[in-house]
Amino acid sequence: MDPEGAFGGVIDIGFDHPSAWPHEARGDQPFVKAGKDQLTSELCRSGDARFIRATLTLPIRGSDEALIVALWAEVPNPAFYAYLDLLDGGPVPNDCAARLANDLSPLADLGSAVTLTFGDGTERPQMTHAKTKDISLDELLDLYEATGTLDRSALKPS
């Protein structure tokens, strides 16, 4: 699906920050600090809210490929600090309920319930959304357009 790529294929989607982040984007900077608020590539503190960057994997129906989305989840404070402990060699936290912190319309709305599974800390936590287990090609194209990743008009007929 990458119209300009050498081999074609699925274009993964990534969000720089949670939608609620009120400050500048991180871009190429290692972190942004504004007062007590902080944003890194994997963690965010904004006011009383705590966010963890996670990975949502959506198999594409009728294909062997999957869309990978790097996005943010708002988590309870205990889950945030348990994840920090994991990154410092602590125990693996239990799966936790969280809220989607980026808009994935038309698939999932900002604030919808998700679950994070932490693994061993060597990779981002995995996110699952109860109502979104896979994605159709049309839904993928709609999501690309909604996130500004790709416009349908950019696709070349095969």
Q: pLDDT per residue over 41-86, tens digit each?
A: 999 999 999 999 999 999 999 999 999 999 999 999 999 999 999 9
- In one-letter notation, the amino acid at residue 120 is D
Q: Which residues does 30 contact at the CB level (< 8 Å), separation at least 6? A: 40, 41
pLDDT at 156 over 80: no
* CA 66 vs CA 37, 63, 69, 104, 142: distances in Å: 34, 8, 10, 16, 15
Question: Residue 8: what pLDDT?
Answer: 66
pTM of the model: 0.88
Enter the tokens of residue 24.
């500048």
